[in-house]
Structure 1
Amino acid sequence: MKILFVGDDWLGSNARSLAEGFRRLGHEVIMVDSTPATLPPRLSPSWLYAKSHEQRAPWTVEHVHTRIERAAAELRPDLVFAFKSVHLDQRRLLDIPARLHVHYSPDDVANPVNTTSDYLTHESEWDLVVTTKRHNVPELLERGAKEALFVRSAYDPAWHHPCARRTTRQYLVGFIGACRPDRRDGMVSLARAYGAQLLVAGPGWRRVRQLRTTRAEVAGAVYGQDFSMTVASVTANLVLLNSDNRDTHTCRTFEVPAAGGLFVGERTDEHAELLEDGSEAFLFSSRDELDEILERASLYPDQVAKIAEAGFRRIIDGGHSYADRAGEILHALDR
């Protein structure tokens, strides 16, 4: 199959990983980077326009569409696959000659920040809308989507795999992910309790003043293989969910164990389905429960290392790579 894949193509992007997943299955894939429109550089004219107009700058959108249409003319795709392309011109995407047009959203499509009026106007014209949120499927169908498919998030074996440590320092507990309002207070509380034993890495954390008054290590974002290198320096890797997405699992659900890290995550039905609590991961529903897990990790490092190894095997052997997800999507299209 010839696939024209439209998505953000920066290092560590899930879109890049999924495009590579289709390629690993043997399909011809051309990827067109939508980053100039979707994530314009901070303080650039495109960024300032987006902030003041609540839509992406028309000149960057036009630039991306020109590249898409040139690629389509040469490739003559069987499938146009749009990865969270809500900020592009939906009519132009759907008018690209192809047998199938698929839109994929990694975020909650019921949250207005993850859609646009243009996308919602044309949502029913996509042959398939793919979501990583199980609860979105009935919502999409009720909204008029032709067909909706739930697939879980995934890991990329090119980036998410056990790595040698790059530092002699080993943190008891760590979190790799963006700073969000629903995470800030809890992370500050952990920093005050665990101090230098805590690593927090991700966009926005360095701007949290309360963290700077603790001994916790606060770092910027890590992507690609750097993510796995960071996991290697942490005994208990926290997997926190995004309440705005109504998450019951997340990319980190797969990335942390695939990188060889001990999964310590919020208790949900999906997490319990994917990893067995106590033997392949640790799940918690309260701060007290988390503190007990961290005490166990501190006292019995060899025991929790065996649990991390079991979690690694469960995810690696469980069909959770982006190539596996690409296969699920293509199977749904063949039905």
Structure 2
Amino acid sequence: MRILYVGDDWIGSNARSLADGFRQAGHEVLVVDSTAVTLPARLSPPWLYAKAARRRAPWAVERLHTEIDSAAAAFRPDVLFAFKSVHLDQRRLLDVPAARRVHYSPDDVANPENITPEYLAHEPDWDLVVTTKRHNVAELRERGARAVAFVRSAYDPAWHHRAARRGSREFLAGFVGVCRPDRRDDLVALARKYGDRMLIRGPGWRRVPELRTTGAAVAGAVYGQRYSAVIATVTANLVLLNSGNRDTHTCRTFEVPAAGGLFVGERTDEHAELLRDEAECFLFTDTAELSEILDWCAANPERAAAIADAGHRRIVEGGHRYVDRAREILAALEARA
């Protein structure tokens, strides 16, 4: 099939990985990059407008729609695939000539941060709405979605694979992800306990003053192959969920073990389904249990490495690549034809 794919195309983005997944599944894919609308450059006119008006800059949206329309006219797609395109003109997007139209959201579609009134008004017009949150399925149906498919998140072998360690520094524990209020206190407490054996990377962490005196290594975001190189420096890689999305798994659920890291994550039913606790990963319920796990890893590095190896095999042999998810999505779409 010919798939016109609207989504962010920056290196390391999940949207880019899923687009490549459709191509790897044997389909012709034309990507229209939506980054200029969804993530405008900091301090650019669209960024300033979005901060002031709390909506995307209309001229940036118009420019993107012009590109989409032009691509559709030349490409004549069978499927329009929109990756979290809630900030676009929904009617204009749905009027793009294609036999079927799919909207995909990697985030909780009940969270107001991930939807817009215009998107909600047109949600029933999509042929298929795809969510990575199992709890969203019934909610989407109740809202009037025509058809709903649940697919889990995934990993991209192009970025998430075992990598050689860069630099001489090694860490007992590490977390790579956005600074969020529901993560801040626990990670500060861990940094105070483990000091220079702790690594924290991601947007916002360098602005947390409590971390400056802990001795922990704190740095900015890391994407693509650099992510796997960072995972290689850490014994126990923390997989923390986003309470705002009511996560029961996340991209890191697959990315950490795919990169060869030891998965140390929050205890959920989905995590327990995907990896065996104490054999392929470690699951924890509270910070006390997490500290016990980290202390055990410090005392038993070889056994921790063996568990990481088992988790790596379970994920990479389990059909959790983006190409696998692309096939699941198209199978769901075909089932509703």
TM-score using structure 2 length: 0.99
Residues of 2 paired with 1:270 and 1:111: CA distance? 20
* Alignment deviations for residues 149-188 of structure 1 (CA, whole Å, 9 cap, x no partner): 1100000000000000001111000000000010011111
| Residue 136 of structure 1, CA deviation | 0.2
Residues of 1 paired with 2:169 and 2:48: CA distance? 41
| Residue 197 of structure 1, CA deviation | 0.4
Residues of 2 paired with 1:130 and 1:108: CA distance? 11
More off after superposition, 15-24 vs 288-297: 288-297
* Pair 1:271 & 2:271 matched: yes
Match of 2:89 in 1: 89
Residues of 1 paired with 2:136 and 2:65: CA distance? 28
Secondary structure, aligned partner of 1:48: helix
Stretches of structure 1 that go unaligned for 5 or more consecutive residues are none
Secondary structure, aligned partner of 1:298: helix
Q: Which residue type is aligned with residue 182 of structure 1?
A: D
| Residue 306 of structure 1, CA deviation | 0.6
| Residue 62 of structure 1, CA deviation | 0.8
| Residue 292 of structure 1, CA deviation | 1.1
Matches within 5 A, 1:107-186: 107-186=107-186
Q: Which residue type is aligned with residue 181 of structure 2?
A: P
Residues of 2 paired with 1:59 and 1:150: CA distance? 34
Match of 2:208 in 1: 208
Residues of 1 paired with 2:62 and 2:35: CA distance? 13
| Residue 56 of structure 1, CA deviation | 0.2
Match of 1:54 in 2: 54
Residues of 1 paired with 2:12 and 2:180: CA distance? 19
Q: Which residue type is aligned with residue 127 of structure 1?
A: D
* Alignment deviations for residues 58-115 of structure 1 (CA, whole Å, 9 cap, x no partner): 0100111111111111110000000000001111110011110000000000011100
Match of 1:39 in 2: 39
Secondary structure, aligned partner of 1:50: helix
Residues of 2 paired with 1:51 and 1:125: CA distance? 29
Residues of 2 paired with 1:113 and 1:298: CA distance? 39
Match of 1:16 in 2: 16
Match of 2:288 in 1: 288
Q: Which residue type is aligned with residue 9 of structure 1?
A: D
* Alignment deviations for residues 264-295 of structure 1 (CA, whole Å, 9 cap, x no partner): 00000000000000000000001111111111
Match of 1:5 in 2: 5
Residues of 2 paired with 1:55 and 1:289: CA distance? 42
Residues of 2 paired with 1:139 and 1:130: CA distance? 12
Q: Which residue type is aligned with residue 15 of structure 2?
A: A
* Pair 1:29 & 2:23 matched: no
Following TM superposition, the consecutive aligned residue runs of length 4 or more in structure 1 with deviations greater than 2 angstroms are none
Residues of 1 paired with 2:220 and 2:288: CA distance? 28
Residues of 2 paired with 1:183 and 1:74: CA distance? 46
TM-score using structure 1 length: 0.99
Residues of 1 paired with 2:212 and 2:130: CA distance? 40
| Residue 52 of structure 1, CA deviation | 1.1
| Residue 48 of structure 1, CA deviation | 1.0
Stretches of structure 2 that go unaligned for 5 or more consecutive residues are none
Secondary structure, aligned partner of 2:192: helix
Residues of 2 paired with 1:228 and 1:66: CA distance? 37
